Structure 1
């Protein structure tokens, strides 16, 4: 089976794939503090796993490749805690725009962003919009938790805390499943101050307060109920949901090819 990763193909193979109408997925992540117990590559580890599993499954139904995961995101609200590398919002927008422009020059006419860090979402949506305005191409963009919201509700993922939260029960479960040796179990507390306003309003709403955009001490909830088994369950559900969205999206783009 040929690799789903763009970087493992030659320039000719990539050009032929793009010319034949293949889609390219760009996974967006971050390198940022995740409390005292999780590694700073938590978002990259989770987003990369989800993207790889989703694209591999989707590739059985539609032509799709996975670009290298972008491990640096828009994380300025984490810088005060240390252990963070961030791009300013407009810099991040320019990076995404340049990635898209490069892929257009590579011949791709279907570019899909899949996001794994909340701070990236506004610039991702704007970059996808601008690319579709500037070029006769299809674009799409979504965060994995939005795509998998219904699936995660059905399996009761909120039992461990807010989904996805930040460095709480949900993300800790995922890292326990993927890389248990990187979780500092000795630093997991059994309580955490409540910050209900962080998750106030419907999905997509934003409520922020200076100095507390990431919750108390840089994480949103106590991960005491986290487990590797739960993490595997959540990750499988997310990958399946994202894969289904990719298939539906690429098929819709294919049906509309004549309109570009």
Structure 2
């Protein structure tokens, strides 16, 4: 599945006619998934589309897992996110915070006119988290008859990633072991050959974030050049396609469970 409007498959919004979309949305407990990614640098070995590719793939996997039982559609991903902290490296396209918030509201408002019972904003970029949480609140307020939810897909891996990773704390960051493994499995042709220069996460505040799956309560803004000369954080040298396949399958299990729960809770 490509992260664009040409995506095909029974759960892809763009594969259906307007009438088919309305019919799916009208079924009891229908769910609409909106993947939200980014277009930003991911070091010297991963493409700038990494977040958008991965969130689109995980969304499609979860939706396909439940499609026999759940009326569900997945929109093409919003491919540009909130990424001002990556701009100094080049290759990054970022939306303004308020603008992106409005885009999410507009996409949700118009898509929900088709009659869906639930909306899941599925996020694939750490810099989008606070914005996405805010959008859940404002869209939910404007759509009182719809269950509005937000989820950052990679956080679904927190319970099992320790069974798969080889890196120590700090090895799974931006462009690190986690994302590189998934890309090696899903889009090996887009992963650069040779060295994968990166810096392990070193946040000076003990209550700040120390890994994709370990973070304290303190939010800190820093440009990415303060963390890494290459733009990548973690241990991409420990990544493998085999790990990526295991991560992909387990993420599919977790998202399938979430989607089934959303469907069940929104049936009349």
Tell me if both proteins adopt one fold, taking TM over 0.5 as the criterion: yes
Instruction: Call closer, same or farther: CA 1:161–1:144 in 2, change over 3 Å.
Output: same
The 5 Å alignment of 1:9-88 reads: 9-21=16-28, 22-88=30-96
CA positional deviation for 1:85: 0.7
Aligned to 1:138: 147
CA positional deviation for 1:215: 2.7
CA positional deviation for 1:193: 5.2
The 5 Å alignment of 1:161-176 reads: 162=170, 165-176=173-184
Aligned equivalents of 2:80, 2:124: Cα separation in 1 = 11
- Picking from 134, 147, 164, the partner of 2:156 is 147
Gaps of 5+ in 1: none
Instruction: Call closer, same or farther: CA 1:193–1:245 in 2, change over 3 Å.
Output: closer
In proportion to residue count, which structure has more helix? 1
* Conservation of the 8 A alpha-carbon contact between 1:177 and 1:229: yes
CA positional deviation for 1:5: 0.7
Q: Are 2:197 and 1:185 aligned?
A: no
Over residues 130-183 of structure 1, what are the superposed CA-to-partner deviations in whole Å (9 max), with x where a residue is unaligned? Answer: 122112211111101222311323x23363764752011111111111121221
* Conservation of the 8 A alpha-carbon contact between 1:37 and 1:185: yes
- Picking from 158, 165, 172, the partner of 1:157 is 165
Over residues 172-205 of structure 1, what are the superposed CA-to-partner deviations in whole Å (9 max), with x where a residue is unaligned? Answer: 111111121221132313x635514462496473
* Conservation of the 8 A alpha-carbon contact between 1:166 and 1:214: no
Q: Are 2:228 and 1:219 aligned?
A: no
* Conservation of the 8 A alpha-carbon contact between 1:145 and 1:163: no
CA RMSD of aligned residues (A): 2.2
* Conservation of the 8 A alpha-carbon contact between 2:84 and 2:94: yes
Aligned equivalents of 2:69, 2:42: Cα separation in 1 = 36
Aligned equivalents of 1:160, 1:181: Cα separation in 2 = 27
Over residues 189-228 of structure 1, what are the superposed CA-to-partner deviations in whole Å (9 max), with x where a residue is unaligned? Answer: 3x63551446249647344253348731222123111111
TM-score by length of structure 1 reads 0.88
Aligned to 2:97: 89
Aligned to 1:3: 10
Greater Cα offset, 164-173 or 38-47: 164-173
Instruction: Call closer, same or farther: CA 1:206–1:242 in 2, change over 3 Å.
Output: farther
Secondary structure of 2:238's counterpart equals coil
Instruction: Call closer, same or farther: CA 1:69–1:193 in 2, change over 3 Å.
Output: closer
Aligned equivalents of 1:148, 1:194: Cα separation in 2 = 19
Instruction: Call closer, same or farther: CA 1:199–1:81 in 2, change over 3 Å.
Output: same
Aligned to 1:245: 258
